[in-house]
Amino acid sequence: RRVRDTGVTEAELRRAITAAEAEHEFETETAEGRARALGRAETIWTLEDELAYVNRIRSVTAVQVRAVARRYLDPARYTRLALLPPGGAR
């Protein structure tokens, strides 16, 4: 709710970008990871998109994050789901 109402701080944005960059680098440091990235590029988007991914992450702004949060994190449409074992909670 806070992100929707007031957005993120520059420090929060930088941490999120750094984490996304690190995750991407970690995922593509092995041959298997690079193959997965190429497969994703061929099936979901283009090779150019895959190669530009980190630069696109780096260009995200706090204003954009808040706009997306306001669009998709609508409290009126919030749903909570609890999965319980057969017979109820224990």
> Any idea where the domains of the chain sit in the sequence?
2-74
What number of CA atoms fall less than 13 Å from residue 51's CA on the CB side? 3
- Distance in angstroms (rounded) separating the CA atoms of residues 16 and 50: 19
Number of Cβ within 10 Å of residue 16's Cβ equals: 14
| Cα 26 off chain centre by | 15
Pick the CATH number of 2-74 from 3.30.1330.60, 1.10.150.120, 3.90.730.10, 3.30.830.10: 3.30.830.10
Tens-digit pLDDT profile for the chain (90 aa)? 899 999 999 999 999 999 999 999 998 899 999 999 889 888 988 888 888 999 999 999 999 999 999 999 988 888 888 888 888 766
* 62 contacts 9 by C-beta, under 8 angstroms: yes
- Distance in angstroms (rounded) separating the CA atoms of residues 58 and 33: 21
